[in-house]
Structure 1
Amino acid sequence: MTPVPPGVRALSGYRRPWLVKDVVAGVVLTTLLVPQGMAYAELAGLPPITGLYTTVTCLLAYAVFGPSRVLVLGPDSSLGPMIAATVLPLVAAGGDPERAVALASMLALMTAGVMIAAGLAGLGFVADLLSKPTMIGYMNGLALTILVGQLPKLLGFSVDADGLIGELVGVVEGVARGETVPAAAAVGVGGIAVVLALRRWAPRVPGVLVMVVLAIGVSAVFRLGERGVSLVGVLPEGFPPLTLPTVAWSDVGPLLAGALAISLVSLADTISTASSFAERTGQEVRGNQEMIGIGAANLAAGLFQGFPVSTSASRTAVAERAGARTQLTGVTGAALIIVMILFLPGLFRDLPQSALAAVVITASLSLADLRGTARLWHQRRVEFILSVVAFAGVALLGVLPGIAIAVGLSILNVFRRAWRPYQTVLGLADRVAGFHDVRSYPDARQLPGLVIYRFDAPLFFANAKTFRDAVMALARTQPPPRWVLVAAEPITDVDTTAADVLFDLARLLDERGQTLAFAELKDPVRRKVERYGLAREIEPQHFFPTVEAGVDAFRTRTGAAWPAPRDAPAVETGVLERPDPPPAQTPA
């Protein structure tokens, strides 16, 4: 039986009272979709009209295949630099726009293939490859890269340079040579001020729309096009036909690398945004279905001269505040854009390019998370350093190397924690049931001849030596313990390399007259240990269901007794023995 797409399935539960709210929200949303679509297309190095094609197709496709009722997809400020970094180096000298569009469309199709295949394979967890600290650093670097890259357009001139430093130098030199167009700069800087002011003091007012309308009005009244200000001009009329882009075989490798990076960032952004809005609407986030939905949106965009898309938190928030209930909001927005393309192609002819630069710059400012960076500094310096390195990777090496660095740092951070996990000795703390970390309870008592050791990570090839060295260091303490009891509840796996290390460790301790024992080993891990043959070296009676059971067994076999507590004895629980009664007093 063919599965029913989520959008089609949602129609059966559609309620008539939602219709007006969805349509109104769609109208409001369109006021943001149009200027942002054109601005983000130019950010990606493509003609503005491609942003509108992309917006229409991805909204319609996600409405059918996307699982979320409220998410809004479209061109995104975080993907624009990645698309440009992938496509522009492949465009022939002279910057052929048609070739750039074909490459961007193929990039969207490849992104769609990656996302759909990963969704069908159940790989939605790959979004976790980007940790929050590295994502903060990456987005901070991306925000700075976008800001510097848009400054020339904001000021009315262009810069031919690569990389953040080169572009920044080009901006400074252009301003010093007097290349700034005052009218363009006034529109751009004023536009930024309008958007930020409305965002701060009137957040429900569509600041981007207000700014664009004002910019068009000022441009028309003062004829800024005749004053050296670059304008958007009349958009191509009509909608493009279904087109399968063609590219050279030599372009496939770079495009695939870009598609993988875009897929990762898009998925991470979508899962984060979907989770945030799902909490408010009571929906469940389905990562694998989201990948398929985003993949379908990219597929549609790539077939109609579009480029890769992602979820937009800002546009989703606008739709939600406007009363959106379902994806009919996005469908309404797509329909209105189609009407504009077909019948009003000259609507934005007087829009200054510097106003589009203002749209992009204000969007880039929302990408940066300076508060999050400061919080990392105060909470955990290691993760702050990871964030700074990710930021530097984007700012100094470029967007695509930056995402590779961010992913690499996230994986290395996980590996570092597993390679050198927290490990400690447990003791019996007075007036607290059970056994606890002696670092947290310095007065915790140790049973003579027994060391209770906890290793807080799975045992695998990278940390098996760390485990062995720690156990041997404990075994060599004076006086030497008779047992080393491993509190193994945090050990969620043991691979074959670690099993060999445990085998050698148990045999070495046995030669020293010492015993290696385990407590609270999870059943799946216990079965692996037995399959590896460790039961031949570690006797079955040295595996205990609880730490308390292991301690009791040690005391039974050795007669060891707990040392008296430092303070007055209190009624104790768990494995604590009650104090021996005082000897009977002989009457005088």
Structure 2
Amino acid sequence: MGVTEWVPGIGAARGYRAPWFPKDLMAGIVLTTLLVPQGMAYAELAGLPPITGLYTSILCLLAYAVFGPSRVLVLGPDSALGPMIAAVVVPMVVSGGDPAQAVAMASVLALLVGLFMTVAAVAKLGFVADLLSHPTQLGYVNGLAVTIFFGQLPKLFGFSVEGDGLFADISGFVTGLGETVPAAVAIGGGGLLVILLLQRLLPKVPAILVAVVGAIGAVTVLDLDVDVVGPLPRGFPPFTIPTVSWDELGILAAAAVGITLVSVTDTISTATTFAARTGQEVRGNQEMAGIGAANLAAGLFQGFPVSTSGSRTAVAFAAGAKSQVTGLVGAVAITLMLVLVPGLLKDMPQPMLAAVVIAASIGLADIKGMVRLYRQRRIEFALAVAAFVGVAVVGVLPGIAVAVGLSVLNVFRRAWWPYRAVLGKPADVDGYHDLRQYPDAAEIPALAIFRFDAPLIFANARTFREEIRHLAITGPRWILVAAEPITDVDTTAADMLEELDQELNAKGISLVFAEMKNPVKRKIDRYGLTGTIDPAHFYPTLDDAVAAFRRSNA
């Protein structure tokens, strides 16, 4: 594999076209108006100082421009990752502890996520994104949205709570309403209203920028008594090698696995959406390498884990972005702000940051998706609800384990109880079809045609055997298995077939197969089953098998 495969930025630089630059420049400037307030807000969501959100944004944009394969994806602090980072970092930092300790832990977390991503990319493990099915992902994201919403409400009202989980946050908010700061509610609530209205009515207007500028202006002009961000450190993010204890490293590593999974899943999903618009192909392993590089870079400059942002990517795309130069412009613009005018955002009110996060949580929620799932497939809706409850009850990080476990169990359930059908021949349709769909289809006397729509493996071997035994009660001479859907037979199933064939032979019933795929037939031969099952009882088509049955019973 060539260098440009793992360092796509080299190829992108060689193929860059001069006419793209004005569009990339404008898109980068537009993107910066979103990067700054969101970066600061999501840093606080993660339990970190606001400046770390800007440090993270700069480094991840620079690294992805070099190592990321997509021309338009924008990486950065993410609303979905914020609560996950906070869930592991905040409890490990004692109350009133040094914020530098939290930053160090978050940076180690970013390095671990970057390491796991890079290893997964080299090992070509892009398929891990499939561990979160759409229903469980939908439930998890909705649970996350609710958790973020109620976790930020106290800050919007000007007070704080010591909650540990969704229900504790709700309880703390209700009991703390007596401490509400009217100015905070006015700034935060007004800012949230502006963001939501502009996003809905005037989507091309930078809603967050308008709300932030208005909030800073209100605090400055009216001298409102609300908590503000304060002066930011001047200069480029400092290179730092974070250190933690071995015990802390173990806890962070476990959390990094969950963050890596969510980040990969989110990135592959977003990349697929925008690749279809730009005519690119999604390269899952290279995407993981790009995200890994972005996290490694962020972790070495006092940053925290990042992921692809669908909202920021959409803004850059709508603004005319042609390449990752858009992200580079954003990184340079943030750096210039920190170097030249670090006091520009010192009067940013904390309730306004809470409003930015709450607006993101509202955008994260997908109620329509849940309703659609309820109408289309109740069992998958139940999985989504279970994933939602997992996040709400056991917490954000354990909720990932719940979601993954439910996804895996759903796969196992489908393999365990696959669809089964008895076939007949309808009068006006060619071939043999499910009697449930064609109840008037003709069945051939003394011949039962059975279809099993799954690989035949240890998980469903018993189900297959019981279905065949049930058919045997009806007294057929042949039980013909339409084997085309059976894509595999493992050794457990092979032993079952051997015992089942002997059992049926003792009753004068022949077990016969049709349309079995060649790879599966070769396994049957290798297992030695043709020593028990008559080799002549394997037919290329159902029609051939039916014709043979009629000849043998003429």
Provide TM-score, normalisation by structure 2: 0.98
Equivalence for 2:451: 454
Letter of the 2:550 partner, please give it.
R
Alpha-carbon distance in structure 2 between the residues aligned to 1:241 and 1:527: 62
Equivalence for 2:437: 440
Within a 5 Å distance, the mapping from 1:77-226 to structure 2 comes to 77-175=79-177, 178-224=178-224
Shift of 1:12: 2.1
Letter of the 1:506 partner, please give it.
D
Letter of the 1:514 partner, please give it.
I
* Residue 238 of structure 1 pairs with residue 255 of structure 2: no
* Residue 482 of structure 1 pairs with residue 484 of structure 2: no
* Residue 52 of structure 1 pairs with residue 54 of structure 2: yes
Equivalence for 2:323: 326
Alpha-carbon distance in structure 1 between the residues aligned to 2:235 and 2:518: 65
Within a 5 Å distance, the mapping from 1:562-581 to structure 2 comes to none
Alpha-carbon distance in structure 2 between the residues aligned to 1:293 and 1:552: 59
Alpha-carbon distance in structure 1 between the residues aligned to 2:250 and 2:549: 62
Alpha-carbon distance in structure 2 between the residues aligned to 1:519 and 1:187: 72
1:434-476 Cα offsets, whole Å, 9 max, x none, are 1110100001111111111111111111110000110111011
Shift of 1:491: 1.0
Shift of 1:93: 3.5
Equivalence for 1:255: 252
Letter of the 2:464 partner, please give it.
F
Within a 5 Å distance, the mapping from 1:309-458 to structure 2 comes to 309-458=306-455
**Cα distance, 1:316–1:163 mapped onto 2, change above 3 Å:** same
Equivalence for 1:514: 509
Shift of 1:8: 1.0
* Cα RMSD after superposing both structures: 1.0
Letter of the 2:244 partner, please give it.
V
Q: Give 5+ residue unaligned stretches, structure 1.
A: 560-588
Alpha-carbon distance in structure 2 between the residues aligned to 1:116 and 1:434: 51
Equivalence for 1:306: 303
- Aligned with 1:424: secondary structure? strand
Alpha-carbon distance in structure 1 between the residues aligned to 2:447 and 2:124: 46
Shift of 1:2: 5.3
- Aligned with 2:33: secondary structure? helix
1:278-322 Cα offsets, whole Å, 9 max, x none, are 111111011111111111111111111100000011000000000
Equivalence for 1:69: 71
Provide TM-score, normalisation by structure 1: 0.93
Alpha-carbon distance in structure 1 between the residues aligned to 2:129 and 2:78: 18
Letter of the 1:208 partner, please give it.
I
- Name the % identity: 64
Shift of 1:379: 1.3
Alpha-carbon distance in structure 2 between the residues aligned to 1:547 and 1:108: 57
Alpha-carbon distance in structure 1 between the residues aligned to 2:64 and 2:411: 34
Equivalence for 2:266: 269
Shift of 1:529: 1.5
Structure (1 or 2) with the greater helix fraction: 2
Equivalence for 1:562: none
- Aligned with 1:17: secondary structure? helix
From 489, 495, 498, the equivalent of 1:494 is 489
Shift of 1:256: 1.2
- Aligned with 1:486: secondary structure? strand
Q: Give 5+ residue unaligned stretches, structure 2.
A: none
Shift of 1:399: 0.2
Alpha-carbon distance in structure 1 between the residues aligned to 2:103 and 2:142: 28
Letter of the 2:294 partner, please give it.
A
Alpha-carbon distance in structure 1 between the residues aligned to 2:278 and 2:548: 53
Alpha-carbon distance in structure 1 between the residues aligned to 2:74 and 2:412: 35
Alpha-carbon distance in structure 2 between the residues aligned to 1:448 and 1:122: 53
Alpha-carbon distance in structure 2 between the residues aligned to 1:57 and 1:490: 50
Equivalence for 2:10: 8
- Aligned with 1:14: secondary structure? coil
* Residue 550 of structure 1 pairs with residue 545 of structure 2: yes
Alpha-carbon distance in structure 2 between the residues aligned to 1:157 and 1:41: 18
* Residue 534 of structure 1 pairs with residue 529 of structure 2: yes
